[in-house]
Structure 1
Amino acid sequence: MKINQIRNATIVVEYAGKKFLIDPMLAGKGAYPPFPHSPLQENNPLHNLPMSIEDIIKDIDAVIVTHLHEDHWDDTAKEVLPKEIKLFVQNEEDAEQTRNDGFLNVEIMTNETVFEGIQLIKTQGEHGRGEYVKLLGHVSGVVFKHQDEKTLYLAGDTVWYRGVQEEIDMHKPAVIIVNSGANQFVELESGPIIMDKEDIYEVHKAAPEATIICVHMEAVNHWGLSRETLKNFVKDKGFLPQVLIPADGEAYSI
């Protein structure tokens, strides 16, 4: 497999001969207003794409949208992606919205979804703790399985909680992609809405042999964990060899 970090949660996964675009946020730097009540009052996204949109979407076989928040599914993605492309979503509500956006080949992921011989298993997640869980709505991740590939678990916008432990125990992934920016809103006291460094440490303890790839970092105005801070943390904890923290545009073959 090959994992290419684009920006934020937007990545391209090449798996068993197919190319998946995950959670596309494709607008140029500063295209959208800042998320309110956030540490930084800067327009989103904070950085330009590391490559052209044409290069990002070239030869994409399918798109997976874990949920419909703007930093995972933005207006630019809706405009530039072919309306006939295969689009996987988490539930009927998201399917209805993406069909309203004009997409013609929308499918809801389940535990038994198969695309071109690749098993796609929808996974659970919680977008924060306390009041955030209800406020931010349903989210999902996905496990990729194929006889010729290592099992890949993309956790999506979730914190560490029993559901993530259950997915790891069930699927025993060799590679885990985690959204790692510790993003949060300053007016609430429920903590980050995606994984922070301690959550990532829990992922490692649950799957000590797995390669962990940390994405969704330093890209939107409510981020709370830098790549440098995370690198120093995992080094201090002694599991840096198992962790990859890609820069925008960086790719790994695993």
Structure 2
Amino acid sequence: MAATRPGGGESAKLRVRPVQAAYRQVAEQLRDQIVSGALPSGSRLPSETELGSMFGVSRSTVREALRQLASQHLIDTTRGVTGGSFVAAPDAGRIADNLGGSLGLLVNSRGMSVDNLIEARLLLEPHAARLAADRACEQDLAELRRTVEGTGHLDPDEGFTVHWDFHTTLVSISGNPLLHVMCSPINAVLRGRMHRDRISRPAWDGIDEDHVKIYEAVAGGEADIAETLVREHLLGLKPLYERMED
């Protein structure tokens, strides 16, 4: 029941949001400007004293905000006469690693299922193969070819790595770095959870054969075929992934 004022009327019903700690508010405003491009890569931020004056907070608050941004790899801080805090240059590999860790936590907490990851992979990787068939240069194809060797003579761990290298390379030669950032964390989580000891030798041989066919389609510039082959290949692997949750 709403409170009643001494004069008889009811008090106003307020919608409020909890006030964030000061350092979080400073970090959030700086993050927004970095992500939006208002502060481009390489930009030097004002000193801690200057930022404190601009935001009306203490140096220790600014320092904590900068520490948070550095932990998110949004800024780099150096010491010395020419030091300071600078907006970090984007690094696709580092971004993908960070996303992979977050996805792993979600899967482990059951906030996301392996099925969700497989579904996302089916949306992304076949299209990456199509782009690779259209765009890959000779150097790209040579890199992909190195990952399609038969793995029967390799020990299981080494062969397992080669199989994943094929998919990582295929996406990386699509010419779209964003696809690499999106696919890498998904594959990293699936790779970490796959029970390789449950995969038979004939299954590994079938995977090798699929990779060769996909490579040949990409090398031949056959975009439709490459896309179809990757989709069929991933669907064929789906039962292996589903066993992860057994």
Q: TM-score, normalised by structure 2?
A: 0.21
Q: TM-score, normalised by structure 1?
A: 0.20
The structure that has the greater radius of gyration is 2
- Structure with higher strand content: 1
